[in-house]
Amino acid sequence: MDGNWVDNDTTTQLDKASPRHTRQDVENLFALPFGDLLFRAQNIHRENFAANQVQASRLSSIKTGGCPEDCGYCNQSAKFDTGLKASKLMDTQQVLSEARTAKAEGASRFCMGAAWREPKERDMAQLCDMIKGVKDMGLETCMTLGMLSDDQASTLADAGLDYYNHNIDTSPDYYPKVITTRTFQDRIDTLDRVRQSGMKVCCGGIVGMGEEAQDRIGFLLALANMAPPPESVPINALMPTKGTPLGQSKTIGGIEFVRLIAIARILMPTSFVRLSAGRENMSDETQALCFLAGANSIFIGDRLLTTDNPGQDKDSALFEQLGIDLI
């Protein structure tokens, strides 16, 4: 399926007139010696971005747990016993307070995530108030709320939402082994609605979920052949959680993860490639190689929704060593 997915007429996210990447293109990149791959990725990065700047986002869980989906990696699913307590949608003023803290700590984008299959109509007005309040602080805004209807996408865009995050998670082939409650095409349909509304797309996925090399190739190929590619591409290393089906997954090696970052940069030269979940378990050296490979966005703060993340002190020390400025 991966090899043919880019030519499937049912996937309206693809533009037949755009430059195409073939599966062979991506396989050739995976076959490059590590040093050659990083050299190529860093040169492409410097052609499109400032060499030593990394965009800083902050991610807040505005509605935690109780999700009816069965994403095998997620401790917020109501289908798994992970000990996580579900909560209601956060009060708007509390969200805005967190956004102010995020800005004070150096974030330029504030991302809000809700553990829903899709937002309810009764919550749309409050979500729009959150967007407007955060934008009034001078921050970029991003939300991830699950699947969207045409009207919901338009409503969020009209409120001023800059980015909408909706990850494809993995390759089209491996996807049914991770999630059964919605299809890969459901994801693409929501991304289409986001594009048509005028919002920017934030879309990536997770590695280390038991997938094989061919699935990582298919994952990056699917992202790169979107038309246009996502403006923001979060690459997550799975944080295994006890009680989830993927809680015993083997951690992906640092070199392999850096290789994925480099290939993402080469395939999507003008996208922000975000080093996302999993940084807490990475050495400073692995993170440094990721930035050398073209990663130029991170989440700051000590929490990512419900998982740990390096705090401000650790990040400040690392970036001072590397001579990197957060923007």
**128 labelled catalytic:** no
| Cα–Cα distance, 322 to 302 (Å, whole number) | 20
| Cα–Cα distance, 62 to 90 (Å, whole number) | 5
221 near 23, Cβ under 8 Å? yes
Point out the catalytic residue in the list 58, 74, 109, 182: 74
Point out the catalytic residue in the list 109, 216, 265, 274: 274
Point out the catalytic residue in the list 58, 71, 182, 290: 71
Point out the catalytic residue in the list 142, 187, 216, 279: 142
Query: Where do runs of H (alpha helix) occur along 21-123?
Result: 23-31, 34-48, 92-104
Token code pair at residue 277:
């979940």
**74 labelled catalytic:** yes
**290 labelled catalytic:** no
| Cα–Cα distance, 196 to 209 (Å, whole number) | 31
Token code pair at residue 16:
């037949």
Token code pair at residue 215:
């699935």
56 near 64, Cβ under 8 Å? no
**142 labelled catalytic:** yes
Point out the catalytic residue in the list 202, 216, 259, 279: 202
**203 labelled catalytic:** no
| Cα–Cα distance, 89 to 110 (Å, whole number) | 17
Point out the catalytic residue in the list 40, 58, 109, 111: 111
Through-space distance between the first and last CA atoms of the chain, rounded to whole angstroms: 39
Among candidate residues 117, 137, 56, the one with its CA nearest the CA of residue 315:
56
Point out the catalytic residue in the list 67, 187, 216, 265: 67
| C-alpha gyration radius of the chain | 19
Sequence-separated contacts (24+) of 77-86 with Cβ below 8 Å:
77/244, 80/243, 80/244, 80/245, 81/243, 82/241, 82/242, 82/243, 82/244, 83/243, 84/306, 86/115
Cα distances (angstroms) measured from residue 313 to each of 110, 299, 319: 20, 14, 10
Encode 255-291 in three state secondary structure. Answer: HHHHHHHHHHHHHCCCCEEEECCCHHHCCHHHHHHHH
List, by residue number, the catalytic residues: 67, 71, 74, 111, 142, 202, 274
